[in-house]
Amino acid sequence: MNRSEQQATDAVSPGINREYVLDRCEYFVDVQVWPLHQVLDPAGWLENFRPEEMDYALHLLCGFIYFRHPMVDQLFLAAFQGLSSKVIEDPLATDPRKAWNSFLDTVVVTRVTGEQPHDTDSGFHFMRKARQLLGIPESRILSPQHVIDRLASGSSFSVVFVDDFVGSGDQFTTTWERMTPVNNGRHTSFAELASTTCTAFYYCPIVCTQAGLTVITRACPGLSLLPAHILPPAYSTLDENSILWPVNLKAGATAFLQEASARAGISAGSWKGYNDLGLAIGFEHSIPDATLPLFSWKQGNWKPLIRQS
């Protein structure tokens, strides 16, 4: 062990060191919770940090949450099946199985689009899952524009928005409130349709921050938001009560993140992630923009933890 390695070992908290953390990562790979090192490279990522930063880096790595495809599929199914609590409001007054099957036979699935919709939006990924995992036919998996067109023309059906992650809630509220052209030169939105029709709207992302849930609940009356998992504020690396840092590191955690981000070349305005959420979360199919860029940064000499996304 050279002097730098010894300093790094000496710097970390009792009970946690580089060997322990990397062994833990290897275990995650062995049990297929984490993918192979071609996708996640914890050892290479730790090489980015100075000896005096190693304690912070190791705790940050330990706090990183990663969802592989099988876990995403199970969470997606759980989120969608959770709609039954809303669809079957009174199981004593109706046949629950019949009510649920009737819902599945008529529901329309759509995606969430932001300010500038892109073909790479995660909503496309989950619309495919609705067909593959839930058996929803292609004819009832529609773009937001087509859903609004049909509702505005008088069609009646329930609508489910599918997605992987809600951070700030901005992307969904943009989708909900966007005025869209329909027949006869009119414009309408999901928000307007929710207030003028009897359409039932549901949103079942697999992970939603508490902040995003609060924003959407307040801004979107007429929508039932039912995520598979709610991420409390304490899962942010920047929250004063963050569970990612032990007590002895909390005071210096923000300075560590800022200094390491500046050294990597991440701009002063983006190192905290979108809307300053400072999360440590990733999916095998994508990395939320609310996640710290430190995990996936690839420029200069910085070695990313997440090699593919």
pLDDT digits (tens, 9 = 90+) for 212-247: 999 999 999 999 999 999 999 999 999 999 999 999
Q: Which residues of 210-241 are buried (b: 16+ CB within 10 A; e: fewer)?
A: ebbbebbeeebebbbbbbbeebeeebbbbbee
Residue ranges covered by each domain of the chain? 78-231
Q: Which tens digit of pLDDT belongs to each residue from 54-85?
A: 999 999 998 898 888 888 999 999 999 889 88
For 16-83, the three-class secondary structure string (H helix, E strand, C coil) is: CCHHHHHHHHHHHHHCCCCCCCCCECHHHHHCCCCHHHHHHHHHHHHHCEEECHHHHHHHHHHHHHCC
Q: Which fold has domain 78-231?
A: Rossmann fold (3.40.50)
pTM of the model: 0.85
Question: In tens digits, what is the pLDDT along the chain, a chain of 309 residues?
Answer: 333 333 333 344 545 766 666 666 564 554 454 544 456 888 899 999 999 999 999 999 988 988 888 889 999 999 998 898 888 765 555 677 888 888 889 999 999 987 665 555 667 788 889 999 989 999 999 999 999 999 999 999 999 999 999 999 999 999 999 999 998 789 999 999 999 999 999 999 999 999 999 999 999 999 999 999 999 999 999 999 999 999 999 999 999 999 999 999 999 999 999 999 999 999 988 899 999 999 999 999 999 998 755
Helix axes 3-11, 54-63, angle to 10 degrees: 60
List the structure tokens of 68.
Answer: 């592989």
Write the burial class of residue 269 (CB in 10 Å: 0-12 exposed, 13-18 middle, 19+ buried): exposed
